[in-house]
Chain A
Amino acid sequence: MVQYIVKRLLGLLPTLLIVGLLVFLFVHLLPGDPARLAAGPDANPETVELVRKDLGLDRPLPAQFVRFVNGVLHWDFGRSLRTKRPVSEEIGERFMPTFWLTVWSMAWSVVFGMVIGVLSAVWRNRWPDRLGMTLAVSGISFPAFALGMVLMQVFSVQLGWLPTVGNDTWRHYLLPSLTLGAAVAAIMARFTRSSFVDILGEDYIRTARAKGLDEPHVVVKHGMRNALIPVVTMMGLQFGFLLGGSIVVEKVFNWPGLGRLLVDAVDMRDYPVIQALVLLFSLEFILINLIVDVLYGIINPVIRYR
């Protein structure tokens, strides 16, 4: 198992390096001179040169890249152009709200998605299936920001049951996490259903039924375990979707998280923040996929020995 994890980690190195290189080059792809951007619009040429030296932008690209990687490894992303504070501090404050938001959303979507998916597969082509799949295709088609606005309007403004903005209590988490989780729940439901439909047609399921096992046993014990393998993979892929979706949902609910930080940074062309966030989001995504791969190896031993 350890060997498998190490192998997977080594396999990630080239991807990590290319992602790092792209994020590094990002600054140089921006239109205009990064030193001038950093110095501000009113700076005179001397100040711009000073800033250029200070940021190391006068050195050759490979040297700059080494400096960049070194900085990242020491958790140093430079300073925000807008607030002049270290980017790592800015991110540190915003990380947990986004993290919990995505974790809650994932929890919702796994629970709702799997329940709807399994029920739809068991009552295939009957009303629970039709209802579940109608919900699912609607969930995929409804944009998260619109759903968030509707939920907030109904539950916070009209009914007054839940708070509108802020992240102080669990009640604050309810609407944003449901909003963010809805689309993923819909995707999970469709995926679980098709995975389950395949499994329920297998010979060993017929055997289980033939030996007189009751239906709940067949579905849960024999069906569930095998149907879960592709579902777990799907979960990992969808996590990236959640990370991206959180950017939009955070704007709707005025959430003090990384997504809003990113949008503000793009608006203000605060490139050190953009750089750090793009890198962080990607690392998180890559890491989650690694965890999924490992989980996959645990569920399905055949994968490990390939």
Chain B
Amino acid sequence: MTAAADTAALPAVDANAVRTPWSEFWRKFAKQKVALAAGVFVVLLIVVALAAPWIVPYDAENFFDYDKLNAPPSWQHWFGVDALGRDIFSRILMGTRISLAAGFVSVAVGALVGTVLGLLAGYYEGWWDRIVMRICDVLFAFPGILLAIGIVAILGGGMANVVVAVAVFSIPTFARLVRGNTLALKHLTFVEAARSIGASDWTIITRHIFPGTISAVVVYFSLRIGTSIITAASLSFLGLGAQPPTPEWGAMLDAARSDMITAPHEAIFPALAIFLTVLAFNLLGDGLRDALDPKIERR
């Protein structure tokens, strides 16, 4: 957190510094207080996710307080106790680990595969491009969560399979995005110049075209993580993802349904956890977009 604050303060200290793309990005990004706060929150979430096993007050899966079933929040149990006597605060903290990992891993895989396919499709065009785009069309022909359910139906339930399913349906978005950027970039003069001095296709794609697509990928990455966390939680809510006793937020909400009237806190905290996490990624993504997209000047 201090690192973020230090860097944010940099432009004010050294306003006449040489403008690199990086400093330019920070100048625009740091102006957006909401996105900056969201970024700090995301960093905090990552810290919590990494440290969760060591900072939870109780064991999230195996500690049962039988005297306090469905007890509301108290000093002893900050977020209350669930129907089996487990500490909800501990479960939420451990759930951060699961949801963030599911979001990051699935989108990272989707972005990696999609970016490579998009770069190749946009650069070489021809039959390869048609095949890739046709596959994307087919993947797009299934509404996202349906595709995920189909994949889970084949692979079986469980969080690992949910991550695979979410990754698969992230691929076409990135492939299309990167392909579009590649098509636009490859006709620019600097690519032509690189080719005329004899640079190989590999060099042109990795050194000249790929950097131009990064900003779009980064923006989508952040926005997609929000969507992926919701999708993964939805699948768990449907009983197809994380299985009990795993402290996954969507699964916790599903379990809370039967006690909504007597113990609403069992639903409120997991719902808030999902909402705040996804909100942070969406606000961060919006901020990144405004800072990285040259077309959007402040209006």
Contact = CB atoms under 8 A, between A and B. Distances in A.
Interface string B281-293: 0110010000000
- Secondary structure dominating the interface of A: helix
Contact of B141 (A153, A252, A286): A286
Interface of B: 134, 137-138, 141-146, 149-150, 152-154, 156, 226, 230, 233-234, 237-240, 250, 253-254, 256-257, 260-261, 264, 267, 270-271, 274-275, 278-279, 282-283, 286, 299
B150 A278 contact: yes
Interface string A127-164: 00000000001101111111001101100010000000
B173 to A, nearest CB: 11
B134 A137 contact: no
A29 interface: yes
A119 to B, nearest CB: 17
B234 A19 contact: no
A19 B144 contact: no
- Secondary structure dominating the interface of B: helix
Interface of A: 14-15, 18-19, 22, 26, 29-31, 124-125, 137-138, 140-146, 149-150, 152-153, 157, 197, 201, 240-241, 243-245, 247-248, 251-252, 262-263, 266-267, 269, 271, 274, 278, 281-282, 285-286
Nearest to B155: A31
A282 B138 CA distance: 9
Question: Lowest 7 A-B CB distances belong to which pairs?
Answer: A244-B145, A244-B143, A146-B271, A240-B143, A141-B279, A141-B278, A266-B153
A142 B146 contact: no
B267 A146 contact: yes
Contacts of B230: 141, 143
A251 B240 CA distance: 13
B253 A142 contact: no
Contacts of B237: 143, 145, 248, 251
A248 B145 CA distance: 9
A304 B263 CA distance: 58
Contact of B238 (A140, A157, A263, A281): A263
B83 to A, nearest CB: 15
A54 B226 CA distance: 46
Nearest to A133: B286
Contacts of B256: 149
Contact of A138 (B142, B240, B264, B279): B279
B149 A282 contact: no
Contacts of A142: 271, 274-275, 278
B226 A197 contact: no
